[in-house]
Homo-oligomer: A and B are copies of this chain.
Amino acid sequence: WNSFHSAKVLYDFIAEAGNNELTVKEGETVTITNQNIGGGWIEAQNSRGEVGLVPEDYIENFTHSNQLNSHCFHQVTRNFLIKLRLCGRVKETNQETFSLSRFPGFSKSGPEIYLLCKQLAKGKDKLTIYTGEVGPVWSYPEAQLDCIVADPKKGSKMYGLKSYIEYQITPNTTNRPVNHRYKHFDWLYERLLDKFGSAIPIPSLPDKQVTGRFEEEFIKMRMERLQGWMTRMCRHPVVSSSDVFQLFLTYKDEKDWKMGKRKAEKDETVGVMIFSTIEPEAHDLELAEVDQKCEQFSRFTKAMDDGVKEILTVGNEHWKRCTGPLPKEYQRIGKAFQNLSSVFTSSGYQGESTLTDAMTAAGKTYEEIAQMVAEQPKKDLHFLMETNNEYKGLLGCFPDTIGVHKAAIDKVKEADKLVAASKITPQDKVTMAKRVSTMSYALQAEMNHFHSNRIYDYNRVMQQYLEEQVKFYETIAAKLRQAHSQFTTM
């Protein structure tokens, strides 16, 4: 690579105002003027001579480390990688770079690396599964971890060349705030997915967004969603007590953070190997029961996914109507009353000011109602949609998590054949049966955790929705009662 060579733009990119960026169009040719910017950015010049920063992933064949794996890391690839990772170990290089660019050199392997592994984790890392009232349950801490994501601040690096938003996260344990950028959340997400994804659905972070990411509305929404994601992770007994999660919430200084990061990235107990740390207290389960539980959870999560998507579809339509045609209609009703009232005022007939005042007031009331209708979705439907969106994300993780279990069950079902073909020993078969039972306990504990959270969340969101709806209709009724009282009875 030479400096000042030409390159083709792969995707449209719209520059963020005041952030030294350059708007480029797919197919456009630009000159690379500085490839040593870092942080996933390069400096480029377009045909009109304008110079600015562009994400390096948006430029064809531009990589700063590995010419062989020179693809942009896009969502499809990403989802594929997540699937692979859940089934075994996927090693990625360059995890420190701009998050869109990854250069994976991975090796795929199925659940057998756990089912047949020689050594299980040592005592201190053990995750015990207890038998609670509802069945297998994780071990819950006495005090529930929680944190507040707040105070988004614009920071900059590279001598002011690049801006970013930093959030302040304050856990209820230390009450000491730590700062993190979105890319740190993304790093945490990747670590949690690597480590727990086979056993625990780790919901995706709120969407990445390049354009408009410094707009107030977007920052507020992202913060709210990061808060939701963090709260869910804090509530999870296994995730919240993990070293990597604790590091994220309570690192002391930059050195502590860097060291913790390196350690987390070297963690070998990832993918299906997480099951090697799990120790159920109860007796081993028969394969039939394991199979039946897995099927049951699969059915339930699919059905709930449909139910949640139905609410989202209906809610979206309702949102559109409430913010679109409906308030326009109330406004027109309000205007029609007011217009007729002005006509009446022009009659020259004595003593109709009570009527015209009342009609004008009624008209204004309908205009106020129009305003209320348009603003209401933000007060009620918003949380209903956010919660269901969160659940849609969570439920979207289950097919992969359950897939790992099904693959393990299938392996155990094959065990007799494998023994017969001398591919595994009879002892291996016993081990595999025991391990798939452990996996089932983990899945049951996770489902029970999911159910208990689900009941809590839906109780809360339905209450909140209905409460706001009651307030809405009561306010309208009160406004109309007031408008009504201005007319005289004759």
Give the interface of A toward B (CB within 8 A): 133-134, 296, 299-300, 303-304, 306-308, 310-311, 314-315, 317-318, 321, 325-326, 329, 332-333, 335-337, 339-340, 343-344, 346-352, 355, 358-359, 362, 447-448, 451-452, 454-456, 458-460, 462-463, 466-467, 469-470, 473-474, 476-477, 480-481, 483-484, 487-490
Contacts and interface: CB of A to CB of B under 8 A. Distances in A.
A318 B330 CA distance: 8
B477 A477 contact: yes
Contacts of A474: 473-474, 477
29 contacts: A133-B350, A300-B348, A304-B340, A306-B339, A306-B343, A307-B336, A307-B343, A310-B339, A311-B336, A314-B333, A315-B336, A318-B333, A337-B462, A344-B455, A358-B462, A359-B458, A362-B462, A362-B466, A456-B490, A459-B489, A459-B490, A466-B480, A466-B481, A467-B484, A469-B480, A473-B474, A473-B476, A473-B477, A474-B474
A304 B352 CA distance: 15
A481 B133 CA distance: 33
A352 B470 contact: no
A463 B362 CA distance: 10
Nearest to A474: B477
Contacts of A473: 473-474, 476-477, 480
A470 B463 CA distance: 24
A134 to B, nearest CB: 5
Secondary structure at chain A's binding surface: helix, strand, loop or mixed? Answer: helix
A448 B473 CA distance: 40
A32 B344 CA distance: 56
A136 to B, nearest CB: 12
Contacts of A308: 340
A455 B476 CA distance: 26
Nearest to A485: B466
A280 B318 CA distance: 62
B456 A483 contact: no
Contacts of A462: 337, 358-359, 362, 487
Contacts of A355: 455, 458-459
Contacts of A352: 451, 455
Nearest to A330: B318
Nearest to A359: B462
A355 B488 CA distance: 47
